[in-house]
C-alpha cells in the first residue's frame, strides 16, 4: 500500500515539475510573417500573396520556391476565408479547440481540426495588447493569427512557426 501511495505521489510531483511550454505566440520579424494583416473576407490578390508566402516556405525573402506539404489544405483554408459565411466565430465561451469557435471555417477545411487556440499573441509592433485578443491556431508549420470583432473574423496574419527554447532545454 505504501509503495502505491509513493508511486502516485511521485507521479503527481513529476507532472507538476515538468516544464510546459507557455501558451503564447510571438510574431517573428518581417521576413517570417505574411504581409501586414489582410482583411477578411479574402480578396483574390490577397489570397495570391498568401499562397506565394506558403510557396516560399514562410520566408518572404527566399529566392526560390519550396514544396508545401500542406498546399492543398492551405488553398482550401484560403478559399474558405474568401467566403463571408465562413467567418463567424464564437468567443463568448471558453474553449480549447479552434474548431469549437470557428465551426463554419472548420467545416470547409481539416487544417485546424483538433488544434488548440491561443489568445496570447506577442507582437512587438503593437503599442499595447489588441482588444479583443487575437485568435491564433497552428497548422503545424504556420501560425494563423486572426483578428475578430463582434463574432466575425476580420483579418489575418500568417507567421512561420519559430521554435523557441525555454531555460533548461537543449536544442
- Give the count of domains, the chain: 1
DSSP helix/strand/coil, 8? helix
Report pLDDT for 80.
97
What's the pLDDT band for 105 if we cut at 50, 70, 90?
Answer: very high
pLDDT for residue 48 is more than 50: yes
Residue 3 lies in a domain: no
Residue 13 lies in a domain: no
pLDDT for residue 151 is more than 90: yes
47 sits in which H/E element: helix 44-55
**68-89 average pLDDT score:** 94
Report pLDDT for 134.
92
Residue 1 lies in a domain: no
Report pLDDT for 29.
66
The 8-class DSSP code of residue 34 comes to P
Domain range for 73 is 26-160
Q: How far is CA 6 from the centre of its chain?
A: 40
For residue 148, give every residue at least 6 positions away whose Cβ sits within 8 Å of its Cβ, in sequence order, or none.
89, 91, 132, 134, 135, 154
Report pLDDT for 31.
66
What would the pLDDT profile of 1-36 be if each residue is shown by its tens digit?
565 555 455 544 444 444 444 476 766 666 677 777
Residue 119 lies in a domain: yes
Report pLDDT for 13.
45
Q: What percent of the chain has pLDDT over 70?
A: 77
Q: What percent of the chain has pLDDT over 90?
A: 44
Report which of residues 61 and 170 the model is more confident about.
61
Transcribe 100-139 into DSSP letters.
HH-HHHHTT-STTTT-BEE--EE-TT-SS--SSPPEEEE-
Residue 50 lies in a domain: yes
Residue 20 lies in a domain: no
Report which of residues 30 and 127 the model is more confident about.
127
Report pLDDT for 16.
46
Residue 14 lies in a domain: no
What's the pLDDT band for 170 if we cut at 50, 70, 90?
Answer: low
Residue 74 lies in a domain: yes
**40-45 average pLDDT score:** 96
Amino acid at each position: 500500500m505504501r509503495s502505491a501511495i509513493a508511486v502516485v505521489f511521485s507521479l503527481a510531483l513529476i507532472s507538476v515539475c515538468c516544464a510546459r511550454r507557455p501558451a503564447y505566440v510571438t510574431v517573428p520579424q518581417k521576413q517570417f510573417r505574411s504581409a501586414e494583416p489582410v482583411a477578411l473576407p479574402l480578396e483574390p490578390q490577397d489570397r495570391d500573396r498568401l499562397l506565394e508566402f506558403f510557396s516560399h516556405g514562410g520566408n518572404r525573402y527566399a529566392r526560390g520556391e519550396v514544396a508545401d506539404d500542406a498546399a492543398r489544405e492551405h488553398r482550401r483554408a484560403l478559399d474558405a476565408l474568401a467566403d463571408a459565411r465562413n467567418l463567424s466565430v464564437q468567443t463568448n465561451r471558453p474553449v480549447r479547440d479552434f474548431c469549437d469557435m470557428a465551426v463554419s471555417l472548420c467545416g470547409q477545411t481539416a487544417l485546424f481540426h483538433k488544434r488548440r487556440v491561443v489568445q496570447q499573441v506577442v507582437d512587438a509592433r503593437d503599442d499595447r495588447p489588441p482588444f479583443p485578443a487575437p485568435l491564433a491556431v497552428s497548422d503545424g508549420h504556420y501560425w494563423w493569427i486572426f483578428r475578430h470583432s463582434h463574432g466575425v473574423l476580420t483579418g489575418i496574419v500568417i507567421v512561420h512557426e519559430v521554435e523557441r527554447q525555454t531555460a533548461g532545454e537543449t536544442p
